[in-house]
Chains A and B, each alone.
Chain A
Amino acid sequence: MSQEHPGQFKRTVLVTGALLTVFAFLVGFYVLPRAQTNTLEGIWQGICRAAGLVPARSPSTDVASPELSSVVVPSSMRGSGSPEQIGRGATLALRCTMCHGASGLSAANSPNLSGQYADVIYKQLIDYRRGARVDVVVMTSLAKTLSDQQVTELAHYYAYLPKPGGRVNLNDAPALVRVGDPIRNIAPCASCHGSSDRTANAPRIDGEPRSYLERQLIAFRSDARHNDVNGSMRNVAHQMTSTEIAQVSRYYAALRP
């Protein structure tokens, strides 16, 4: 780079930069897509694909897929509800008492709702209402009568009720609950469902009826239940044996005081 020709150096830098860019784009957007000869696409389609523009799949080739959960839990569900919301929720909850108990504790192998997280109840009720979770006999028809506001109030009411039970000693828990099985891609139950950690939208399951837990795990395993976000629960359940399902259900059910 000569002192006498500073302009020349500048030009060299700019031309090199431009050539490099052109080269990189040419290979990335023309040569490589063309090299993938298994597609019957034209040049322009190849460029679009390399740019990330994926053509919409034609609906005719799609297999009918089950209704998936589309719930967006509003940020208002992150805190606790106002006294008014909880009060209205308590009134609304009168129609739930037949199965879920007068104080949210079931004597009928239905889930206990007392002290359940508000976002969980909100999501499940909306999923029932929209058809992402199906219980034709009871819950679907009940949920269809509820407005968004009522769902919010019910959720806050049940979250407000005390959760029975004390601190769990995880060291007594089965390995699947405590540490999961990484090789089979099974995360520890405790890392989402409480005891050691909690993930949004994951319910507390300690003290839930054993038959309910087993039924849900089997439903997830067979894809009959499919309202878990991104298949997170189905991916776990697919890997579980019937013995394991019975074992973890028994463990969590026994945590009922």
Chain B
Amino acid sequence: MYNARKLVLAHLWAAFAVFFLALLLGEWQMIVRSPLHAWINVPEHYYRSVTGHGTAMAYVFPTLIAMGLGYAISELSLKIPLIGIRWAWAAYFLLVGGALVAVAAIASGTSSVLYTFYPPLIASPFYYIGVVCVVLGSWVWVALMAINLRAWRKINADKPVPLAMYANVAGAFLWAWTAVGAAVEILFQILPVALRLRETLDAGLARVLFSWTLHAIVYFWLMPTYIAFYTIIPRAIGGRLYSDTMARLSFALFLVFAMPIGIHHLFADPQVGSGFKFVHTVFTALVAVPTLLTVFTICASVEIAARLRGGNGIFGWLKALPWKNPAMLAVALSFVMLGFGGAGGLINMSYQMDSTIHNTQWITGHFHLIFAGAIVIMYFVIAYDLWPHLTGKPLVSSGAMRTQLWLWFLGMMILTIPWHLAGVLGMPRRMAYFDYSNPVIAPEAWTVVSGVIGGALLVLSGILFIYILLRGHRTAPAPQPEYTFSIPVHAVTAVPKILNTFGIWVALMIALTVANYGFPIAHLMSLKTSVPGISVAK
């Protein structure tokens, strides 16, 4: 790396610090709403914690990871020093500052609106301003990624863009466009009320705008994980990437299909017509295409690694895999969680089936399994993989890493699978407390106790993770081999222009967003519905 080493390290440390604190909040929430602990009698404290946990985990943590990884990829794959490093630092401080302001607003008890904002609930304006600063900081990153790619193209006209950078910029463009929904919601609906310039807002319209962001943001969280699948894992386990083209196609399709699907979060909202709900269901189903492409390509790449190590037979090669390698273990565990989570997701996206589990604990189970499970476990791998190159010191504790990954996997499964069940039984999500001494709901109490146990394993895993990284800083420096991304089976000499650029994919992304969101938004704006904003500040 050239001069972004400190920048990347700062991003990753800030991300994991935020992650660890929010993890503790999560476990506290599990404890106080379980029958193991007497009810604290203050739901406000619970919702304050949920708001902090959600804001940190959904907005700050993954954004910092995507940015840090993005800067690293820019230097490591393009092999040119990062352009605009001062801007990058400014964006970093803007983001961290914004996060601190938002957290202060939450901690003061004036902003317990949960991270999905839930208008017409109105928090302190500082909360929204903090979140907006986080988004603004990330937009600087988007611009820098585009600028760096452009600078590289100038010297490398017609050469294939390195896969990692192609994926990275796809993620950046996706984020730039998807963040627009929530930004418009905050700036034109919520913030004027929070600043007391207006009394009312259109809650239905605000929710539609939020759904614009809400689903695609998940794919923004997913991007670093998919980048790790394609460009880190095959190399880390001694294999080859099965297909570079398949990888590019997957990222391009995510760019297109992540956007026009958010209304599946609004199946129970009466202000959106059923026709649009169906259309969004169809496009949500299409996300299966890049997902299955990825599962296929990564399984094939892993099989190549196994066969290179002498594995044979239809399934016998599985034994030849380097299971002691943390990267191998993580990708396997991630796929298991992705499988369960994806299967649950099929129910969420179906207009009819969703009504069974809408707004129940199932949903909490689903996104924890996918995001906190399948995605975050790969963030750990990204850190393990990059750390020696950032610090110049090796990470020696492979056994501790495997323990950490297993703890995370087990904790997440013990936490989320009972949540799914509780949801099917009808337990609403985001409830501060249930009285499990009530015989009618007493049989569901174990699902919450299980959450406490799962959460405790996750906290242990988090502590171990931070310990491994800290120990990495204290190891004796050792020369590191040059950082490489995985090599495809067939050397990439030329790539179709369409998979080397973004024009058509960005155009499709915008066109489909307009087709699927244009009418509902225009219609709701024309209705001029309004409800009074409700301040949650005491």
- Please judge, given known A-B contacts A3-B496, A17-B508, A52-B520, whether A171 and B274 are in contact too, CB under 8 Å: no
Q: Does A28 contact B (CB under 8 A)?
A: yes
Q: List 14 A-B contacts (CB under 8 A).
A: A1-B499, A17-B511, A17-B512, A25-B279, A25-B515, A28-B277, A52-B271, A52-B274, A72-B199, A78-B535, A170-B41, A178-B39, A196-B42, A196-B44
Q: In the complex the two chains form, is B42's CB within 8 Å of A78's CB?
A: no
Q: Does B494 contact A (CB under 8 A)?
A: yes
Q: Does B498 contact A (CB under 8 A)?
A: yes
- Please judge, given known A-B contacts A13-B498, A20-B286, A196-B43, whether A175 and B534 are in contact too, CB under 8 Å: no
Minimum C-beta distance from B38 to chain A (A): 8
Separation of A200 and B159 alpha carbons in the complex (Å): 61
Known contacts A52-B275, A179-B435; can you find 13 more A-B pairs with CB under 8 A? Answer: A3-B494, A3-B496, A6-B497, A10-B504, A24-B283, A27-B278, A47-B275, A49-B275, A50-B276, A52-B274, A76-B196, A183-B440, A201-B534
- Please judge, given known A-B contacts A51-B276, A52-B523, whether A182 and B199 are in contact too, CB under 8 Å: no
Separation of A225 and B518 alpha carbons in the complex (Å): 41
A 178-203 to B, binary, CB cutoff 8 A, 1 in contact else 0:
11111100001011000111111100
Separation of A201 and B433 alpha carbons in the complex (Å): 23
List residues of chain B with CB under 8 Å of any chain A CB: 39, 41-44, 193, 196, 199-200, 245, 256, 271-279, 282-283, 286, 431-435, 438, 440-441, 494, 496-499, 504, 508, 511-512, 515, 519-520, 523, 532-538
Minimum C-beta distance from A128 to chain B (A): 18
Q: In the complex the two chains form, is B523's CB within 8 Å of A51's CB?
A: yes
Minimum C-beta distance from B514 to chain A (A): 11
Separation of A49 and B536 alpha carbons in the complex (Å): 36
Q: Cβ of A191: which chain B residues have Cβ within 8 Å of it? A: 43, 432
Minimum C-beta distance from A7 to chain B (A): 9
Separation of A24 and B516 alpha carbons in the complex (Å): 10
Q: Cβ of A47: which chain B residues have Cβ within 8 Å of it? A: 275
Separation of A188 and B161 alpha carbons in the complex (Å): 59
A9, A33, A72, A200: which has the most chain B beta carbons within 10 Å? A200
Minimum C-beta distance from B349 to chain A (A): 13
Separation of A33 and B273 alpha carbons in the complex (Å): 11
Separation of A50 and B282 alpha carbons in the complex (Å): 15
Separation of A47 and B256 alpha carbons in the complex (Å): 26
Q: Cβ of B511: which chain A residues have Cβ within 8 Å of it? A: 17
List residues of chain A with CB under 8 Å of any chain B CB: 1, 3, 6, 9-10, 13-14, 17, 20-21, 23-25, 27-29, 32-33, 47, 49-53, 71-76, 78, 170-171, 175, 178-183, 188, 190-191, 195-201
Partner of A52, one of B41, B273, B494: B273
Minimum C-beta distance from A172 to chain B (A): 11
Separation of A183 and B426 alpha carbons in the complex (Å): 10
Separation of A229 and B519 alpha carbons in the complex (Å): 30
Q: Cβ of A74: which chain B residues have Cβ within 8 Å of it? A: 199
Residue of A nearest to B438 (CB): A183
Q: Cβ of B275: which chain A residues have Cβ within 8 Å of it? A: 25, 28-29, 32-33, 47, 49-52
Q: Cβ of B536: which chain A residues have Cβ within 8 Å of it? A: 200
Q: Cβ of B440: which chain A residues have Cβ within 8 Å of it? A: 183
Separation of A247 and B441 alpha carbons in the complex (Å): 23
- Please judge, given known A-B contacts A3-B496, A9-B496, A20-B286, whether A179 and B43 are in contact too, CB under 8 Å: no
Residue of A nearest to B44 (CB): A197
Q: Cβ of A32: which chain B residues have Cβ within 8 Å of it? A: 274-275, 278
Separation of A154 and B534 alpha carbons in the complex (Å): 21
Separation of A95 and B291 alpha carbons in the complex (Å): 71
Separation of A178 and B537 alpha carbons in the complex (Å): 22
Separation of A198 and B534 alpha carbons in the complex (Å): 12
Minimum C-beta distance from A179 to chain B (A): 4
Residue of B nearest to A119 (CB): B535
Separation of A14 and B441 alpha carbons in the complex (Å): 53
Partner of A28, one of B276, B431, B432: B276
Q: In the complex the two chains form, is A182's CB within 8 Å of B508's CB?
A: no
Residue of B nearest to A36 (CB): B274
- Please judge, given known A-B contacts A52-B273, A52-B523, A78-B535, whether A179 and B279 are in contact too, CB under 8 Å: no
Minimum C-beta distance from B76 to chain A (A): 27
